[in-house]
Amino acid sequence: MSVSRRSFLAQAGAAAFSAETLATHALAAEDVSAVDQERMRSVAAFTAETLSTDHPVPFGADIVNTSTGERLMRAVNRVGPDHDPSAHAETLTIRLACAKLGSVSLKGYTLYTTCEPCAMCMACALWSGLDRLVFGATIADASRFVSQITIPAKEVAQRTDLHCVVAGPVEREVCVKLFTDPRMQKAFAMWKKR
């Protein structure tokens, strides 16, 4: 049986796409639990508290012990107040957690974040050795409101030999509401004027 090069490449591409798509869906379904949903709602509620402050943000993060669920650290984005472009919720939470532990390793911990991490934050999560990263809103959701580096977190994780399970979106609608809240929309308008 003769197979043309074009036919072979089309079949190989379809097989690779199907395998990757199935793996992604299997990962999300297999690794997301009711506990993950509860924790995401909790970090979203914590983040929503900023909407009534002078520095509202839709980005918040929690780091919890993967085995026990005990919270180690929690923070929100502080780019504006700290005048620090790297003070994203994920990187800040990782920095504070590592300082609290006196270690550069967060092996044994899971990061919950209201939005899929940008490439910088995902790289920080990988370097810190987190077991898992669970996100709420997608990076595409966030890019509707603020400038983003729109490389999916799972893609960043796949391009390294460092290991971290990436699961999400979890409670996406709850987390997207942080972006669409009228107080946040007003803040976004102010950010664009800067």
| Residues belonging to the active site | 90
Tell me how far apart the terminal alpha carbons of the chain are, to the nearest angstrom. 65
Helix H or strand E segment including 190: helix 182-193
> Would you list the DSSP string of 150-166?
---HHHHHHTSSS--EE
Burial state string for 44-80 with b = 16 or more CB within 10 A and e = fewer than 16: bebbbebbeeeebbbbbbbbbebeeeeebbbbbbbbb
* Residue 58 DSSP one-character state: S
From residue 142, give the alpha-carbon distance in Å to each of 88, 149, 191: 13, 10, 14
User: Residue 132: beta bridge partners?
Assistant: 110, 165
What strands lie across the sheet with 132-137, from one edge to the other? Answer: 71-76, 60-65, 109-115, 132-137, 165-167
